[in-house]
Each structure stands twice: as structure tokens, then as C-alpha cells.
Amino acid sequence: MVNFVSGRRRLLPASAALLLSFCALGAQAEDAEIFERYAAYEQATRSGDYDAAVAPIATALERAEALYDEDHETVALLSYHYGRALFRKGQWRDAYQALEVARERYGQAFGEASSDMVTVTLGLGDAADTSGVARRHYEEAARLSESVNGASSVAHARVLLKGGVGLVETHRADTDAGMLEKAREVLAATDASSVLRAEAAMQLGKLRLIQGRIDSAEALSLETISLDDSALVAPAHSLLVRIYESRGESDAATPHALAVGRLSSERDGNEDYLPLFRMAPMYPMNALRAGKTGYVDLMFTVDENGYPRDIKATAGEELATFRAAATKAARAFRYAPRFRDGIPVATQGVETRIRFEIER
């Protein structure tokens, strides 16, 4: 959609979620370079090359700033995407500053109470340098969303879910379940898809496990599996492996370890073969008193039920107590067994390194 104002063409926001497709931008942008640079940015982002995504969106923004007024929608949209590009690259401080500029421009272009402002405010929460600042932005986004979308809407539940996940996964605020709980509550009262309800249950289950509320984590993981979202079934089974192994209930963990193995794509090689559950080794007291650090490399076979067998030390610290502690720790690991032709099989030559380090 194109809007003619004061003799110039203005690009309206692509959607409430700010998903500006490069096709639409190319059709509407005054300058072809903006479209070309934006297309390069989006391609790099979609391929996961976040380092390469920053330069083209920065160029597109610079060109738009030279061509349009500061309150132009194109400038606002590109300002937001520039901030997100910096965030994805890991430049959080720069991202936060860029998103503050984007938020000001969104207020000028679309109004402070627009639906698009919700997404910019969530972005500020993601890039905040402390959980307290992040919480402030996420709560502000939730208030905006409630005003724009309605407190009982699926759209509002999405915002609550995004803020809750940001607090837990990005900012490690593992005591704050309020937004996730509210998201589940809203979703339960709507006709939301099972995908959204599964995500809310899964995220809250992960938080409950971190908090040590094991029974709640178990119930939420089982709920996630029952909702049958293909993207979350395997992670939910993985979470149940951690729950049961942490209780010492290895037999209860077995069907879930098998389920993860069955759901995972078959592959060769052991480079990224990581355990579903592992415990830190007990630090040998004689080494701890002496201030000695080191590591032990181990090799073993993962059997058909995901247990390490035939564990051998292959390299690292020669101290016998280190090797004994590392071997004991590895016995408690639990893997998803590999499957071949639908049948679980043993995997030989699995390697891991166990480090012994003293916190200073």
C-alpha cells in the first residue's frame, strides 16, 4: 500500500509484527539501493549469517535517512531492522541504542499506541543489558499490547509469551514466571492453536525445572507432548529425561530417551553427539586442596538405551583421582540412542571432555 502525502510517497508498515518483505519494499522504495541492500540483509538473516547482515541494512538505513524525513515510515522500519541485526550479531549495547532510536521514530511515524510499537519495545527488552531493564520493556510491551490487542486475545498472549521467554532464556531471570503463566492463562481461554499452547507449556516447564519445581516441570512437559506440536515433542521428551534422571529414575527416563532418538534425524559421526542429561563431576578433594586443575578426555559406547558403556580415559590429566571422578560422572550421562531402520543401535567411539576447574 502506498500513501501520497505532501507530494511524496510514504511506505506504510508491512504488518503489526514489522515483517517487511523485501518484495514489498522493492516495489515501493524510492531508491533501488534501499531495496537491494534490504534484500541482501534479509537473505543473510535467513541463512543465519548475522555478521554479514549488518552492513547491508546499515547502508539501506543511511540511504533512507538521506532520502526521507526522520518521521518517514521507511526510516522507522529500517531503524528497527538495523537494531535487530546488531542484536543478532551479539552487539547488544549498540543494538539497544539503535532500537531506542527506532522506538522514537516509530512514535513519530505511527503513534505511541500503535501495534507496531509493541514489537519495537519487545526488541528493546531483548537487547537490554540487565534483567531489570528488560523486564521494564517487556511489561511496557504487554501494557501496549493489552491496549491495542485486548487482554484476552491470542495476539496479546503471543506478546506475553515473547516477554516471558526473553526473561528466562535471554536474561536468565529464572525467578520470574509471571508473563509465561499469564500467557498460558490467556491461551487456555481462547481458540489458540495447539502450537502456541505447547510452546507456552514447554517454556514454563523449562523454567520450573530451573527453579527446582520438578513435579510441575514434569506435568508441563507431558502436556507439551500431548499437544503434539512436531517441533516441541522431542524437546519435551528431552526435558523429561533430565527430570527423571535428576530424580534417579533412569528406567522412567528410558522411553523418553528412545523417543528423542526416534524423532531425531539419522546421521553419522559423533562430533555433535551430546548427552540429554549430565552431571558435573565431584572434584577430588586432594586436587582441590592443592589447587590443581585439569581435564580428562573419555571415549565410550552409547548403548541402545542411551547409557555410556566401556568408558576409557584417552587423554588429559594423568592424576588417577581426576580420571576416576571423570569416569564416574560419565556413567551418569544419558543420551538419545541412535536409530537405524527404526531400531535403536549402539554407537561406538563417542568422545567427551570433562574439565576440573576451580572458581576464583
**pTM (2 d.p.):** 0.78
Q: Where are the alpha helices (DSSP H) in the chain?
A: 22-28, 32-46, 50-67, 73-89, 92-110, 115-127, 131-149, 154-165, 178-188, 194-211, 214-227, 230-246, 250-263, 285-289, 320-331
Per-residue DSSP letters for 199-263?
A: HHHHHHHHHHHHHT-HHHHHHHHHHHHHHT-HHHHHHHHHHHHHHHHHTT-HHHHHHHHHHHHHH
How many other C-beta atoms can be found within 10 angstroms of the C-beta atom of residue 185?
A: 13
Burial class for 29, CB neighbours closer than 10 Å (0-12, 13-18, 19+): buried
What confidence score (pLDDT) does residue 16 get?
33
What confidence score (pLDDT) does residue 70 get?
87
pLDDT in tens, 162-187: 999 998 888 877 677 899 999 999 99
- Rounded CA Rg of the chain: 25
Q: Which residues make beta-bridge pairs with 344?
A: 339
Query: What burial letters (b/e) apply to 194-222, b meaning 16+ CB within 10 Å?
Result: eebbbbbbbbbbbbbbeeebeebbbebbb
Under CATH, which number does the domain 285-356 receive? 3.30.2420.10
How many other C-beta atoms can be found within 10 angstroms of the C-beta atom of residue 188?
A: 11
Q: Which residues make beta-bridge pairs with 343?
A: 340
What confidence score (pLDDT) does residue 234 get?
93
What confidence score (pLDDT) does residue 169 get?
83
Q: Cell digits for 189?
A: 481461554
How many other C-beta atoms can be found within 10 angstroms of the C-beta atom of residue 148?
A: 18
Cα(167)–Cα(279) distance, rounded to whole angstroms? 25
Q: What stretches in the chain show pLDDT beneath 70?
A: 1-30, 174, 265-271, 360
What confidence score (pLDDT) does residue 114 get?
85
What confidence score (pLDDT) does residue 267 get?
52
Under CATH, which number does the domain 1-127 receive? 1.25.40.10
What confidence score (pLDDT) does residue 143 get?
96
What confidence score (pLDDT) does residue 223 get?
94
Could you tell me the residue ranges of all domains in the chain? Answer: 1-127, 285-356
What confidence score (pLDDT) does residue 244 get?
97
What confidence score (pLDDT) does residue 228 get?
80
How many other C-beta atoms can be found within 10 angstroms of the C-beta atom of residue 4?
A: 8
Question: 3-state DSSP call for residue 352?
Answer: strand
Which residue's C-alpha cell is 527423571?
244
CA-to-CA dists, residue 169 to 77, 163, 207, 237, angstroms: 26, 10, 9, 19
